Amino acid sequence: MSYSADRKGTAIIEVETLTPPPPTTVATRRVKTHGHAVIWLVTNYADDAEVNVCLTNFTPHHGIATLLNAEQDIDWPLPNGNCTGTLAPGASGTIVGIFRGTPGHVYDYEIRVNGVTAEDPQLEI
């Protein structure tokens, strides 16, 4: 696991390998929403494996924010919701989230690749 630079409005997730667990990825360390929205650009660089990348467990960083209720506080407007759906090797996908939270609050979240936690980056509203 490794992190790329902080970004605003868009974040990257690059899946490099699936073995050994956990998957090896490069992801934006902290993304700040732009108008309460974030676009995650996901690319599968794993040579011979399909992947499904999901974003889960948005929890307050150091307890300074209220818990984001996934059903009430986050909208996932694309058909696959908080996941990419299946991405073949070399394919890319997108996850879009719209967050109803307080500006300045920071959340830790999990990037899961094929159900296995790969990264624990942050989101700032």
Per-residue CA distances from 125 to 38, 45, 73, 99 (Å): 9, 29, 12, 7
Give yes or no for residue 83 having a pLDDT over 80: yes
Q: Give CA angle at 105 (110, 100), nearest 5°.
A: 80
| pLDDT of 72 | 76
Write the pLDDT tens digit of every residue in 6-43: 778 999 999 999 887 888 898 988 999 999 999 999 99
| pLDDT of 19 | 81
Give yes or no for residue 1 having a pLDDT over 60: no
- CA nearest 83: which of 37, 44, 121, 42? 42
Average predicted confidence (pLDDT) for the chain? 88
**List of domains in the chain:** 2-124 (2.60.40.10)
pLDDT band with cut points at 50, 70 and 90 for residue 93: very high
Helices (H), 5-112: none
